[in-house]
Amino acid sequence: MSSLEKPAVRKDGLQLEEHRRFQERFWTIERFSWGVFAVIIFAALLGAFGSGGPLATKVSELERAVVEHPRIGRWEGTDEMAIRFKPDPASSERSLLLSNAFAEVFQVEDIQPLPVRTTIEANGQRLFFDSPARSGGVVTLHLRAQAAGPANFDVMVDDELVSLFSFIFP
């Protein structure tokens, strides 16, 4: 049977056997990891991984409307796209065209307010809305992403086309 040897007494009076060099490297890696986790948490709070925050949405300014859409989303997660029509006293009806590429990525769960009529065109689905009382109006689309990865799609407000990009995390 072998006997255990007592560790030598160190200069500081402790009787410990430790690998100081290994421990210092471990502490360095541990502190670096804390920094990485802090950056990840901060990015998540800003919306870099979807579900709210300033990085998760993008605002596109058009001549006749402002389009706010999800820049970063989650697969099977809910998002909103808001179209804020600018006042146009000459127009009695406003239209919104959602491209075919949009329909491949997003499922529209609800539209507030509901469109007056909808038409299917070669390049997508066009929604028509009564022009609300000369002050503009907001149309909100409640969306659910159906595919993960990058998504490029077009939205046309009246006759203004804007190309948009979203990244959907799995």
Domains of the chain: 57-169 (2.60.40.680)
**Tokens at 43, concatenated:** 């990015």
Question: CA nearest 91: which of 119, 124, 60, 65?
Answer: 65
Tokens 């299917």 -> residue: 120
Average pLDDT of the chain is 87
Is residue 33 within 8 A of residue 27, CB to CB? The reply is no
pLDDT exceeds 80 at position 39: yes
Alpha helices in the chain (DSSP H): 20-46, 100-105
- pLDDT range class, residue 132, cuts 50, 70, 90: low
Structure pTM?
0.74
**What's the average model confidence in pLDDT over 144-158?**
91
**Tokens at 52, concatenated:** 């709210």
pLDDT exceeds 90 at position 150: yes
Cα–Cα distance, 127 to 65 (Å, whole number): 15
Convert the pLDDT of each residue in 69-114 to its tens digit: 999 988 888 889 999 988 877 777 888 999 999 999 999 999 988 9
